[in-house]
Amino acid sequence: MKNEQAILFYAFRYVLGRKTYAVAEVVETLIDEIDNIPENHKNIMRVTIENAIESGEAGHKMDVKEWRKVLDELNN
């Protein structure tokens, strides 16, 4: 389980800001696994996503929409 959490975190870091279909797949997996993600990773994700959106580095508009879904889950 720890390796899976780490790989999911690496995938998040890799796709944030990329303009690819992989964003939707990683976002879907993050949302599905949100309860299994360690709090420290959730905090890093929250800040990183917010900063990427604010700086215009979160990808295309459709990617930003996907990242906002993750933020919604992280903030619940």
| Radius of gyration for the chain, computed over Cα atoms and rounded to the nearest angstrom | 11
Collect all residues with Cβ–Cβ distance below 8 Å to 29 and sequence separation of at least 6. Answer: 8, 11
- For the beta carbon of residue 33, count every other beta carbon within 10 angstroms: 12
**pTM of the predicted model as reported, rounded to 2 decimal places:** 0.92
Distance (Å, rounded) from C-alpha 58 to C-alpha 32?
21
Rounded distance between C-alpha atoms, residue 60 and residue 3, angstroms: 30
| Residue 76: predicted pLDDT | 87
pLDDT tens for 42-52 read 999 999 999 99
For residue 1, what pLDDT is reported? 59
| pLDDT tens figures, 14-25 | 999 999 899 999
Q: Residue 20 gets which letter from DSSP?
A: S
pLDDT at residue 72, as a whole number: 97
